[in-house]
Structure 1
Amino acid sequence: MAVKKGDLVRVVREKYEGSVEASASDARLPAYVFDTKGEILDTKGDYMFVKFGHVPTPAFWLRADQLEKFE
């Protein structure tokens, strides 16, 4: 299922680990990106700008195929 701006999502651990994005930055993402919902704030091509939680955490870009809708 495709994700779009405004959707609530979570990161799929299996799709993120070992990816180019994981190797380009700290591969140890905090657990909240896998367990809590984030909101897609913007899109650019295959990438989504995602903000997690209500606490002051930085938003960051992830590939759309590394995300799934939060159920």
Structure 2
Amino acid sequence: MVTKLKRGSLVHALPEQLENSLEAGASDPRFPEYIFKTKGEILETDGDYAFVKFFVPTPPVWLRLDQLTPAE
């Protein structure tokens, strides 16, 4: 069953979806480990993108919804 990601959902980033993505090519392709290992909260969505705040002292980031998975 696919869980719909929406505002307030807790998520992790999927490394296999970010690897070789447009987002990886647009900047440094080395993503920080915290986006894969710590929980983030979706603050806002816009089309296929989510604005995610990870629970570390860093600014939120926009990621595609297919690059995220629900956190347990």
Band of TM-score, shorter chain = over 0.9
Q: TM-score, normalised by structure 1?
A: 0.92
Provide the alpha-carbon RMSD of the alignment: 0.9
Deviation at 1:40, TM superposition (A): 0.2
- The one of 1, 21, 26 equivalent to 1:19 is 21
1:41 and 2:70 matched: no
Q: Identity over aligned residues, as a percent?
A: 59
Structure 1 stretches of 4+ moved >3 Å: none
- 1:44 is matched by which residue type in structure 2? D
Query: Within 2, Cα distance between the matches of 1:31 and 1:44?
Result: 25
Gaps of 5+ in 2: none
Q: How does 1:1-71 map to 2 (within 5 A)?
A: 1=2, 2-53=4-55, 55-71=56-72
For residues 26 and 46 of structure 1, the distance between their equivalents in structure 2, rounded to whole angstroms, comes to: 22
> Distance between the aligned counterparts of 1:41 and 1:26, measured in 2?
24
Distance in 2, Cα, partners of 1:60 & 1:25: 13
Instruction: Determine the C-alpha separation between the residues in 2 that align with 1:14 and 1:30.
Output: 14
Separation (CA, whole Å) in 2 of partners of 1:21 and 1:28: 11
In structure 1, C-alpha distance between the alignment counterparts of 2:28 and 2:5, rounded to whole Å = 24
Partner SS for 1:3: coil
